[in-house]
Structure 1
Amino acid sequence: MSSPRVTLVTGAAQGIGAGIARQLVGDGWQVCLVDRAEEKLGRVEESFPAGTVAAMAADVSDPAQAARAVEEARSRFGRLDGLVSNAGIMVSAPVEQLSTSDWDRVLATNLSATFHLVRTAANHLREGGGSIVTIASTRAHMSEPDTEAYAASKGGLVALTHALAISLGPRIRVNCVSPGWIETEGYGELRPVDHAQHPAGRVGKVADVAQAVSFLLDGDRSGFVTGSEFVVDGGMTRKMIYAE
């Protein structure tokens, strides 16, 4: 009997990252949970069945910590078959007031971290023919005011995804999931109009993103898919909206 496949998920202490980890464990993967929020990460780790996950506190915007997380993941489970680069932050401010340090911090976490992780993980992923999934955003294609750093980071992540797919193929597939409005913990009660404005009829759920990631990681189901962006937004980016 072969050992379970192993993947690393960043930003796994809450929200979409934690939901992706739960989906993958349910699919039979072992998952390395990575996040800089050590206390939250510990609580999430305790919610999984014993032996299915391992938690590693790391700030993946730092190249050394990102590399260490990858190496430790492989060391703990003996293999690495997947990487889900999900960690992300947002700073919202008028562009005239957006500090260079905040700009750099968002780009380092949302974009550069993927580069740092892949640079270390690539050789491990080649061994078994692995898969990388990045988590971008529909903000790569559409914006609200005062989100320049976030939009730039997510747009860069979409481009980095297809660049990596060409460079790392055929042994490693690289794809991107771009969520729209996804209801995570901390949201207040959603209004009927929040759901009704979506062509799909509802706001997204964490499971919608997690299931897309599950598909893209699994070479048996998505072996002919690489360099692609999967937009999971209930159709909102395809909807024309003009003031009446």
Structure 2
Amino acid sequence: MQSSHPPHPVALITGGAKRVGAVIAHTLHDAGYDLVLHCRHSVAEADSLASELSAKRANSALVLQADLADMQALPALIDTAVSHYGRLDALINNASAFYPTPLGTATTAQWNELFASNAQAPFFLAQAALPVLRASRGAIVNLVDIYAERALAQHPIYVMAKAALTAMTRTLALDLGPDVRVNGVAPGAVMWPSDGKPYADQEAMLSRTPLKRAGAPEDVASTVLWLLRDAPFVTGQIIRVDGGRSVSI
């Protein structure tokens, strides 16, 4: 453990090794945050990202591997982060499982996996982090989804899990104020799923979006940074970063 608190604020990002999580990591690091990068399977990617970031600023990124469905692992993530850096200023619940579960074929295992990453882990990580976030007057940002409030065909369990995370965002904002702010970011089309689903015709979807284009992961990351650093009077809000799609869906 370091002998004194570092001068940099510290953020824990779940699912921080790849895709949007990695862009959030770069953005926060550039803004002066030291990072705890959680991963499940993507240890090599997380280690590579941490090395890249620490080459820019020594000892500024720590990788922690854990299965977020493992309830014992959640307090340990927080404890290890705090032991390493001596503080925690931000929790970004980014990790998310996403796949269809059509009614008639859905399993208990699918329910448990989708709720574990999208609702259960964010709640219990927030609970474990609460004392240190209160001490730092920190913030929580949850990556939610427009489909928490709108239906997505064939994805009922995912939609319910994200709806739970949205409700949690608002409830914890009420319960944790004034010391800790809690907000959510609902991305639109900023990075397509690797399998191209669930949108068979991406251009048709974008044509119905007021800005008529996809966004970028950086749009989401800059919003996360704004909520953490530049929005001291904002809590309990879901910021839709979607090119206006939520008003036209």
**TM-score past 0.5 threshold:** yes
TM superposition shift of 1:44: 2.3
> Corresponding residue for 1:133?
141
> Corresponding residue for 2:240?
231
Q: Pick one of 39, 43, 46 that aligns with 1:41.
A: 46
Q: Distance in 2 between matches of 1:224 and 1:73?
A: 27
> Corresponding residue for 1:90?
98
> Corresponding residue for 2:173?
165
Determine if the alignment matches structure 1 residue 174 to structure 2 residue 182.
yes
Q: Percent identity?
A: 32
CA contact (8 A) 2:145 2:186 kept: yes
Q: Distance in 2 between matches of 1:214 and 1:238?
A: 24
SS in structure 2 of the partner of residue 23 of structure 1: helix
Determine if the alignment matches structure 1 residue 197 to structure 2 residue 208.
yes
Q: Pick one of 88, 99, 103 that aligns with 2:107.
A: 99
* 1:141-182 deviation line (CA, Å, top 9, x unaligned): 223311011100111101001111111110000001111222
SS in structure 2 of the partner of residue 146 of structure 1: coil
TM-score (norm 2): 0.89
Task: Check 1:105–1:196 CA distance in 2 against 1; reply closer, same or farther (3 A cut).
Answer: same
**Structure 2 unmatched runs, 5+:** none
TM superposition shift of 1:105: 1.1
CA contact (8 A) 2:101 2:110 kept: no
Determine if the alignment matches structure 1 residue 74 to structure 2 residue 78.
no
Q: Distance in 1 between matches of 2:193 and 2:120?
A: 26
TM-score (norm 1): 0.91
Q: How many residues align?
A: 237
Q: Distance in 2 between matches of 1:147 and 1:235?
A: 22
CA contact (8 A) 1:184 1:206 kept: no
TM superposition shift of 1:211: 0.5
SS in structure 2 of the partner of residue 182 of structure 1: coil
SS in structure 1 of the partner of residue 62 of structure 2: strand
Task: Check 1:66–1:2 CA distance in 2 against 1; reply closer, same or farther (3 A cut).
Answer: closer
**Structure 1 unmatched runs, 5+:** none
CA contact (8 A) 1:136 1:179 kept: yes
State the Cα RMSD in Å: 1.9
CA contact (8 A) 1:91 1:102 kept: no
* 1:178-229 deviation line (CA, Å, top 9, x unaligned): 11222258477x97555443212211210011011001111xx211100111
TM superposition shift of 1:91: 2.6
Q: Distance in 2 between matches of 1:185 and 1:93?
A: 16
